Amino acid sequence: MISATLPVRALDQKAAPRPADLLAWYDRHRRRLPWRAEPGRTADPYHVFLSEIMLQQTTVKAVGPYFIDFTRRWPTVADLAAAPLEEVLSAWAGLGYYARARNLHACAKAVVERHGGHFPADEDVLLELPGIGPYTAAAIASIAFDLKASPVDGNIERVVSRLYSVDEPLPKSKPRIKALAAALTPARRPGDFAQAMMDLGATICTPRSPACPLCPWMDPCTARAGGDPARYPVKAPKTERPERAGVAFLAVRADGAVLLRTRPDKGLLAKMTEVPSTPWGPVPVAPQSHAPFAVNWRKLPGSVAHVFTHFALSLDVWRADLPARTPAPDGCRWVLPKDFSREALPSVMRKILAHGRIEGA
């Protein structure tokens, strides 16, 4: 018989997850990433900032080449701040969520103007900078300055929701998960702890078929004990993705130049370069009335499909060949394919050009 006076844990209770166990795992298994400092060192805050912005909703694999390119072009935050926005946007082209690039540039300028070119070592002050939200402020504070902060990204949401079997669905459960993560964060090595949580989520505690036997927290994990860790995190049902359609006008001049223009300052693909097109709507719009030239257009075979976050797009492509020295209509410009690399061409626009067999960068 177990004495009631002894501090004996009931058999169905689990030990709390120990940060030291995760840190020991991290010391052996940490990923080597371009923006990450060598073990025992803290990273360049500019590198942490740049990588964190790029990594928002974006895979490590996709970010790699962009991070290398950006740091080569703009080695310091002051260099980035001094660059023209157009160059930053064209360097960002293809990475998606272009508001990040605009905010990245605005943030670099703010760091120079408000903080003398040094990132503030303070989570609350970081939070006031453009493009830096709760996650990124905590990530920079902890990773770049080793301050006690608890960034919560998708990885950490998954790890924490499994550790504690959080049944309330996201995003409603965010505050609770944030509190649990904060309670777990140690006073020593908070930066390594944050990165360890992310590495664990990315390599062991993965969305599907997590590798529990390799996990340093297998023992204290309640979802593992429950037998179906992959059912966490519980998420609210998603709204469906509507279809939109339109026609893109590929005007090609005799010298090979293609008619392009810059999109409006706000909204989808703001300030990016585009191929002129009809509006993209749920119902097809009379294409002729939106054509940049009143000439004979021929529809190219097939169509271009592209999926955005909140709608799926299907575009027909109409082509017209025009004489050399044809002037560009208002708001448009002729661009030779060899100069495409200087343009801020999003992936959907590159697909349209490729569909018309136009070879650019």
CB of 113 to DNA, least distance (A): 16
Residues in contact with DNA, counted by CB under 7 A, come to a total of 55
CB of 294 to DNA, least distance (A): 29
* DSSP state letter for 34: T
Whether 52 is catalytic:
yes
Nearer to DNA, 203 or 326 (CB): 203
Count the alpha carbons within 13 Å of 215 in the hemisphere toward its beta carbon: 29
User: In 3D, which of 217, 184, 187, 186 has the Cα closest to residue 200?
Assistant: 217
One character per residue 256-295, x = contact with DNA (rule: CB under 7 A) = -----------xxxx-------------------------
CB 146 within 8 A of CB 51: no
d(CA 192, CA 198): 10
Category of 117 on φ-ψ map: left (φ > 0), alpha (ψ -120 to 50) or beta? left
Burial class (CB in 10 A: 0-12, 13-18, 19+), 26: buried
Decide: is 208 part of the binding site for DNA (CB under 7 A).
yes
* DSSP state letter for 334: E
Position among 64, 96, 186, 360 found at the interface with DNA (CB under 7 A): 96
Position among 82, 347, 354, 361 found at the interface with DNA (CB under 7 A): 347
Place of tokens 């989520």: 201
With a CB cutoff of 8 Å and minimum separation 6, the contacts of 238 are none
CB of 156 to DNA, least distance (A): 8
What residues numbered 50-89 form the site for DNA, per CB under 7 A?
51-52, 55-62
Strand partners, 304: 315
Position among 65, 169, 207, 226 found at the interface with DNA (CB under 7 A): 207
CB of 155 to DNA, least distance (A): 3
Nearer to DNA, 335 or 344 (CB): 344
Position among 109, 148, 158, 244 found at the interface with DNA (CB under 7 A): 158
Position among 307, 324, 336, 361 found at the interface with DNA (CB under 7 A): 307
Nearer to DNA, 9 or 238 (CB): 238
Position among 64, 117, 134, 220 found at the interface with DNA (CB under 7 A): 134
* Piece in contact with DNA (CB under 7 A), picked from 1-9, 111-119, 148-156, 330-338: 148-156
Decide: is 94 part of the binding site for DNA (CB under 7 A).
yes
Burial class (CB in 10 A: 0-12, 13-18, 19+), 32: exposed
Burial class (CB in 10 A: 0-12, 13-18, 19+), 144: buried
**Phi and psi dihedrals of 82, rounded to 5?**
-85, -10
With a CB cutoff of 8 Å and minimum separation 6, the contacts of 115 are none
Binding site for DNA (CB under 7 A): 33, 35-36, 51-52, 55-62, 94-99, 103, 130-137, 139, 153-155, 158, 195, 198, 201-202, 207-208, 235, 238-239, 241, 267-270, 306-310, 346-348
Active site residues: 52
